[in-house]
Amino acid sequence: MKKIAVVAFGGNALLRGNEMGTIQQQEQHTYDTCIHLLNLLKDDYNIVITHGNGPQVGNILLRNEAGYNEYKIPRMPLDICVADSQGGIGYMIERQLKNILVENKIRKNVITLITQVVVDIEDPAFKEPTKPVGAFYLKEEAELLSKSNPNLIFKQDAGKRGWRRVVPSPDPKEILNKRIIKDLTKRGNIVIAAGGGGVPVYRDKNKNLRGIEAVIDKDLASSLLAREIGAGAFFILTDVPNVYINFKKPGHKKLEKITVAEAEEYYSKGEFAAGSMGPKILAAIDFVKNGGGQTIITESTMLSDPNCGTRIVA
């Protein structure tokens, strides 16, 4: 039986920070990332792809506001916006990957699944929203928006670029349709799932699923999915070939193969920033500690090397 790998695309896989984000730019970056997945197929992996959605869902929220202000088109809640981004990004990855497979004479189906992820309505994150989404506002604009809708919470950006809406980021508890994802993957299909961390839902007192205003960390959701479908490897693709300690400081050191215990020690010492490598390290630890084989953090261009990246093992 072939091995299963979950591959989490980082933000730079689709969009660079200094770009407008045109469809041509995003399609080119998607193609450039996906072509390196051929190395995993040659290494006899069946693949599940997950991805981020930060810039894209931010743009959807901007369209939300513009449509409401100009034409009174009803605003859609955040869970619907996340689902919209899953569909659009999944379609883009699916099409570019299918083109690559055809070019390389590889017969495989590629399918995108809109994926709901269950969270706990009692998660402490709902009492202290921290995840910024959407546009930057002047302080006065943020205050007016808060007055018009008390459910909107704004905080000043750490870089002093303005005020942004913040929403809860609860931990993922269950990937819905995980059995379907596993079955499709075991049959050799390439599945794109849990985009943007998944659409956040919770179960009410009647066990009905309800959408909720939140976002789920993409790497934590990907780690959970990898565990739930029995993946042997979890690849986190980012914009650096390896993880470093003392990053950009004197005595910086590249990490190659480390244990979970070493990763936890480095994390406890504050080696990994909360806004960049921190969540990836936590997701890597989570996967391996809960029965996964190994987590590899690297950039897509390195996938041809069987010993690429930083490898976290038990």
Q: Do the beta carbons of residue 27 and residue 241 sit within 8 Å?
A: no
Residue 178 half-sphere exposure, CB side, CA atoms within 13 Å?
A: 19
- DSSP code for 17: T
The Cα 235–Cα 238 span in angstroms is 10
Count the Cβ atoms, other than its own, within 10 Å of residue 275.
9
Active site amino acids: 11-12, 131, 218, 280
Secondary structure class of 107 (helix, strand, coil): coil
**Going by DSSP bridges, is the β-strand pair 257-259/253-255 parallel, antiparallel, or unpaired?**
unpaired
C-alpha–C-alpha distance, residues 262 and 26, integer Å: 36
Instruction: With beta carbons less than 8 A apart as the criterion, state whether 192 and 49 touch.
Output: yes
Helix or strand (DSSP H, E) at 78: helix 78-103
